[in-house]
């Protein structure tokens, strides 16, 4: 009997379809296997690393690694993947190398179909959140504020992160 793929595997496959395609079949297979073996952490991670070796820097692989580390509570490793994702989105969207220097007019941040700018925004949100969780509150706030500047309609949800920080600083649980 074959187990159904986890949301982790489905997310990786969705990322493949939306963010660049071109994922080699063997890397795709390893992502699928990582999802199926998520409950076996070492096995799942080995499949993710195999996918990474086959398709280094591919968005589907990076998202798979990010989600794996996030859901396993390995936030420092997750943050490192977020940094790689930010760099990828910045390069592929011709954004400044430092996310702090990105301006609203640098990309089509408000367009749903602009996948790489959206990837950048969602990654910046993850980067902000992870920094907050890891105690890097100033870095987390700066990233959340940049996100709100790039997404003034707050479709991505930066305001919530800023509100959490404001309440924490005010001593409100």
pLDDT tens, residue by residue, 72-100: 999 999 999 999 999 999 999 999 999 99
Q: For residue 135, give the DSSP letter.
A: T
**Residue 97, both tokens:** 């190398």
**Residue 133, both tokens:** 């969780």
pLDDT band at 69 (very low <50, low <70, confident <90, very high): very high
- pTM of the full structure: 0.85
Count of CB atoms situated within 10 Å of the CB of 105: 8
* Per-domain residue ranges of the chain: 1-72, 95-173
What is the rounded radius of gyration, in angstroms, for the C-alpha atoms of the chain?
17
Dump strand ranges (E) for 64-167: none
Question: Do 59 and 11 form a contact (C-beta atoms < 8 A)?
Answer: no
Question: Do 75 and 130 form a contact (C-beta atoms < 8 A)?
Answer: yes
**Residue 87, both tokens:** 């760099």
């Amino acid at each position: 009997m074959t187990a159904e793929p986890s949301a982790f595997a489905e997310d990786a496959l969705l990322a493949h379809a939306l963010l660049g395609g071109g994922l080699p079949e063997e890397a795709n297979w390893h992502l699928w296997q990582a999802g199926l073996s998520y409950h076996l952490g070492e096995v799942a991670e080995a499949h993710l690393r195999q996918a990474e070796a086959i398709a280094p820097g591919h968005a589907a692989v990076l998202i798979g690694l990010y989600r794996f580390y996030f859901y396993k509570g390995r936030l420092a490793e997750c943050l490192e993947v977020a940094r790689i994702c930010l760099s990828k989105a910045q390069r592929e969207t011709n954004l400044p190398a430092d996310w702090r220097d990105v301006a609203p007019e640098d990309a089509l941040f408000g367009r749903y179909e602009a996948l790489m700018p959206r990837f950048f925004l969602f990654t910046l949100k993850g980067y902000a959140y992870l920094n907050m969780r890891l105690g890097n509150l100033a870095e987390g706030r700066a990233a959340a504020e940049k996100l709100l500047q790039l997404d003034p309609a707050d479709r991505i949800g930066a305001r919530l992160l800023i509100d959490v920080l404001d309440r924490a600083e005010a001593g409100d649980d």
